[in-house]
Structure 1
């Protein structure tokens, strides 16, 4: 399978790349700074550019079967700006499936129905800018006509791989407080071959 990877220089992105290569897939990674790609492999191709550049997205998605996005906010508006460009590039390339890494803040609130967690008292964060960016990304995918899954981990330490965790559609598993980067990447990678959480957010925690 040919995979287009966005955000491959981040913590989860590097884990996704490693798992994809180990499974024998071919990856085209879009990176603003290719030197930050820790992996080197004959099946890994790196395109230099930004997810906010339509031309760079088209180049990275050429021939891809699926898109994996581990883009984060970078303290700015990368997610909200790139989302419509990603959706348009996928549609142009005929790619129907995207799996993205989000945040638990955009899951549904249990205590305040009708709100997302970051909008409710469930969130302990005073600043909501990052969650708002993830929310914009989610809204764009939800209205794109693509088949999408947004994996929404709670507190995300580097941690160790365990392979044992809980996942819940549109909600954070009750009592969940953390999930490691390797376990998050494993779950997200497995969604390539699964439609269980198609067109849904997935809360992930131990």
Structure 2
């Protein structure tokens, strides 16, 4: 399978690249600063471009089977980079005939079926108070994806860390058995597993360790 990874220079993106290659996939790593990608592999292609550069995005999506996004908000400011760029990503995927999208966002983006407990409510309050633009940018990204005709899976995650993979994750809705921490390695593994599964198509599960 050929996969395109957005946000390839971030820590989640690096995990996605490493694990996708290990699984035998052909990988296109898309990055604004491609020189930051130091990995080399016969099945790894690096494409440089911005998130609103339709031409570069189309080049990155040519012949790909799925898009994996580890993109996150850029600072707590009202630029709303994700909200602005997501329509470009969707449009260029559609133009290239790519329908499968797996992307990550924070568990602070609520979803029908969530039953946040006191800790979740406190974290939500802090996000709204201290990082309201981060939360709003993520919401705009999710709204654009949900309103598209893509076969999307939105993977909602808690606080991330760089611990080694455990090989297992808890999957559910906020307040229903999921925890407050997750390793990027386990997150990447779960996202890649969705390429072989239809279980969470057009759903937004929360995962944690």
Same-fold status (TM-score > 0.5): yes
Shift of 1:34: 1.1
Q: Could you say which residue in structure 2 is the equivalent of 1:18?
A: 18
Q: Could you say which residue in structure 2 is the equivalent of 1:152?
A: 156
1:22-37 equivalent positions in 2, closer than 5 A: 22-37=22-37
Shift of 1:202: 1.4
**Whole-Å Cα distance in 1 between the matches of residues 164 and 107 of structure 2?**
20
**Whole-Å Cα distance in 2 between the matches of residues 37 and 85 of structure 1?**
23
Contact 2:83 2:138 in 1 (8 A): yes
Q: Could you say which residue in structure 1 is the equivalent of 2:85?
A: 82
**Whole-Å Cα distance in 1 between the matches of residues 31 and 22 of structure 2?**
20
Shift of 1:106: 0.9
**Whole-Å Cα distance in 2 between the matches of residues 111 and 171 of structure 1?**
6
1:88-107 equivalent positions in 2, closer than 5 A: 88-107=91-110
Tell me if 1:143 matches 2:139: no
5+ residue gaps in structure 2?
A: none
Secondary structure of the residue aligned to 1:201 is: coil
5+ residue gaps in structure 1?
A: none
TM-score (norm: length of structure 2): 0.89
Contact 1:159 1:180 in 2 (8 A): yes
Change (3 A) 1:138 1:184: same
Contact 1:28 1:46 in 2 (8 A): yes
RMSD: 1.7
Shift of 1:24: 1.2
Aligned structure 1 segments of 4 or more residues deviating by more than 6 angstroms: none
Shift of 1:159: 1.2
Q: Could you say which residue in structure 1 is the equivalent of 2:51?
A: 51
Shift of 1:121: 4.7
**Whole-Å Cα distance in 2 between the matches of residues 19 and 94 of structure 1?**
25
